[in-house]
Amino acid sequence: MKYLDEYRDAGVAKGIAQAIRARVTQPWVLMEICGGQTHTIMRYGLDEMLPPEIELVHGPGCPVCVAPLEIIDKALAIAARPGVIFVSYGDMLRVPGSHSDLFRVKAAGGDVRIAYSPMDAVKLARENPSRQVVFFGIGFETTAPANAMSVWQARREGLKNFSLLAAHVLVPPAMRAILASPVNRVQGLIAPGHVCTVVGTREYEDLSRDFHLPIVIGGFEPVDLLEAIRMLAVQLEEGRAEVENQYARSVSREGNLPAQTILQQVYEVSDQKWRGIGAIPMSGYKLRPEFAEYDAELVYGTEEISAQEPQECISALVLQGLKKPVDCAAFGSLCTPERPLGAPMVSSEGVCAAYYAYRRRVPEAVA
């Protein structure tokens, strides 16, 4: 399959791993930001191919995991209302709110549907004029343009029964918060290729300069990630701190300009809570006032819902790369994908879930 097979080639991967081994002379701590990248590392066992000097820690880039508890509670409240068709990406359905999740709301009679695109929700609104359709707009800069497009399209069509429950998060402010922490260990960053496909690489140039940090924009296939690690290792060994683009087949410096235009038209940057990290100023998107009638929070009056987030697991430390999932006493025993205690165990993209699925006990080498 073109664009896949060549980036999953075992021979190429082993060659890059060898080049990394030949280049590193001292320990380096690298962070991949995106949950999709974490997933690939675990699924292909890339960390096993690396020399012991390279330590990978896993960043906060799983949108499901960092969605704050209160937005889940708001979603549950709206989805339970009669007359509402609540449309969501699939992996949000299992995420626990304070007392329930969307699967349970569905089991109790709520009309909760899985969609692959927010435009499917707009289509539902068009086809069901007597129902209210709400799309759960979660995600980083990657999904934000499509979600913005749904609102823009609904307004263009004059739909009065569509709204968006938006909780978008932005990568650079979160990375700034992590890098500025006095306990930060991260020395090199694999930036999220799909986020950069949308927004370009300029913000990462600022990040690299401000923290004197090597950054490589990385893809999501195993060869992409190994190559990004190699590029970081070379920068670190040479004492450089620059932004390099490994994922050039998708990412340009300017990014996707039409997508950026729709983002600016529909959203404004706002403060945002992150599950596992806390409130970060100017780290999210919310709908602009001129789109208020499409803002599900305003339509359904859920602004007042807030959630008390209990302090039971070490997800904050995991999402900042300070701890590994296996360092948690609850990991794999009290906390499993069936009964998640913490956000990173919920989504298959979450770092704890990735460790649980692929690595909860290090298997002996297969003969």
3-state secondary structure of 179: helix
Per-residue tokens: 178 = 């992590």
Is residue 177 at the binding interface for other proteins, with CB under 8 A as the rule? yes
- Footprint (CB under 8 A) of other proteins, residues 243-302: 275-278, 280
Nearer to other proteins, 236 or 316 (CB): 316
Residue that is written with structure tokens 């694999």 in the block = 190
Is residue 7 at the binding interface for other proteins, with CB under 8 A as the rule? no
- Footprint (CB under 8 A) of other proteins, residues 46-65: 46, 48-49, 63-64
* DSSP structure string for 119-172: HHHHHHHHH-TTSEEEEEEEESTTTHHHHHHHHHHHHHHT-SSEEEEEEEE-HH
For 187, what's the count of Cα atoms within 13 Å in the CB-facing half-sphere?
17
Nearer to other proteins, 42 or 233 (CB): 42
Is residue 69 at the binding interface for other proteins, with CB under 8 A as the rule? yes
Nearer to other proteins, 42 or 149 (CB): 42
Is residue 95 at the binding interface for other proteins, with CB under 8 A as the rule? yes
Is residue 108 at the binding interface for other proteins, with CB under 8 A as the rule? yes
3-state secondary structure of 353: helix
- The CB-of-126 to other proteins minimum distance in angstroms stands at 13
Nearer to other proteins, 63 or 284 (CB): 63
**Angle, in degrees to the nearest 10, between helices 10-23 and 222-238:** 10
- The CB-of-277 to other proteins minimum distance in angstroms stands at 7
Residue that is written with structure tokens 């690595």 in the block = 359
Decide if 186 contacts 30 (C-beta within 8 A): yes
Nearer to other proteins, 100 or 187 (CB): 100
Is residue 101 at the binding interface for other proteins, with CB under 8 A as the rule? yes
Is residue 320 at the binding interface for other proteins, with CB under 8 A as the rule? yes
- Residue span binding other proteins (CB under 8 A) among the ranges 205-213, 284-292, 296-304, 334-342: 334-342
Strand bridging mode 162-169 / 278-287? antiparallel
Question: Residues 6 or more apart from 9 whose CB is under 8 A from it?
Answer: 223
Which of 52, 239, 304, 366 contacts other proteins by CB under 8 A?
366
Is residue 222 at the binding interface for other proteins, with CB under 8 A as the rule? yes
